[in-house]
A and B are shown apart, each in its own frame.
Chain A
Amino acid sequence: GAVVSQHPSWVICKSGTSVKIECRSLDFQATTMFWYRQFPKQSLMLMATSNEGSKATYEQGVEKDKFLINHASLTLSTLTVTSAHPEDSSFYICSARGPSSNQPQHFGDGTRLSIL
C-alpha cells in the first residue's frame, strides 16, 4: 500500500517552454503533498507544501510564479515549471501523506528535468 506515482520520469525540453509534472497517490487519499528539488549529489530541498483545495505554501526563496502548484483533488498534485530555463534542470520529487499526521510521507520515483 501507500504508492505514489510521479509522471513523467524524464523530460527534455527547450528553454522557454512550460513543463507539468504530476504526482498521484494511487491507493490512499493524500491531504498533503510535498514537492522537493534535488541537485546532483545533494540532499532534498523542500520547495512547497500543498494541501488539497488550498493554495500551496512555498519555502523561502522559491518563486511561486515560476513553480505553479495545484492540488485540486485528494489524489493528484501538479507542479508546473513555467518558462523553464537551463538553471531549472534538476531532479524533482513529490511525496504524499494521508489524512493522519501520524502517517509518514511516501515518495514518488522522481522526475528528471533537462532544459536545453
Chain B
Amino acid sequence: AQTVTQSQPEMSVQEAETVTLSCTYDTSESNYYLFWYKQPPSRQMILVIRQEAYKQQNATENRFSVNFQKAAKSFSLKISDSQLGDTAMYFCAFSGRVGNEKLTFGTGTRLTIIP
C-alpha cells in the first residue's frame, strides 16, 4: 500500500516570498503519478501540478514548481512570489498507473500568506 506524508501541518509566509511545502511517499511501484492539490476555504479541490515518475524533469506551472527526488521518494512544492490567493490547504497525492488510479492523499499543509 502507498503512503503519503506531509510533515508540516501549518506554514505561513509573507506575501511575495517563496515557500516550499514538503511531501514524502512510500511505494513499491516503479511508475506512478504525484500531485499537489489546493483546497481553498471554498473547499473545491484544485489541481496545482502533476509529475510523472518516469520523467526526470521537474514539473513547473507558472509560479509553482516541484522538486522531485525519486530515489529519496520526496516531492516538494515551491511557490514563488506568493500571493494572498495562495492561502489554502495543500495536499500531496499519489496515484498508480493503469489499473490503480485511485489517489492517496497526505494529511495536508495549511498555508497562510500574510499581507
Contact = CB atoms under 8 A, between A and B. Distances in A.
A101 B45 contact: no
A54 interface: no
Interface stretch (B11-19, B21-29, B69-77, B105-113): B105-113
A24 interface: no
Interface in A1-44: 32, 34, 38, 42-44
A110 B45 CA distance: 9
A110 B44 contact: yes
A58 B102 CA distance: 11
Interface string B16-56: 00000000000000000101010000111111001000000
Contacts, number: 49
A43 B44 contact: no
A101 B102 contact: no
Contact of B107 (A32, A42, A91, A107): A42
B27 to A, nearest CB: 16
Nearest to A110: B43
Q: How large is the interface on A (under 10, 10 to 19, 20 to 34, 35 or more residues)?
A: 20 to 34
A38 B44 CA distance: 12
Q: How large is the interface on B (under 10, 10 to 19, 20 to 34, 35 or more residues)?
A: 20 to 34
B103 A46 contact: yes
B97 interface: yes
A92 B8 CA distance: 25
Contacts of A101: 97-98, 101
Contacts of B95: 105
Contacts of B44: 107-110
Given A95-B45, A110-B45, 6 more contacts: A44-B105, A45-B105, A46-B103, A97-B101, A107-B37, A109-B43
- Pick the 7 closest A-B CB pairs, nearest first: A107-B45, A101-B98, A43-B105, A109-B44, A44-B105, A43-B107, A110-B43
Interface of A: 32, 34, 38, 42-46, 49, 91, 93, 95, 97, 101, 104-110
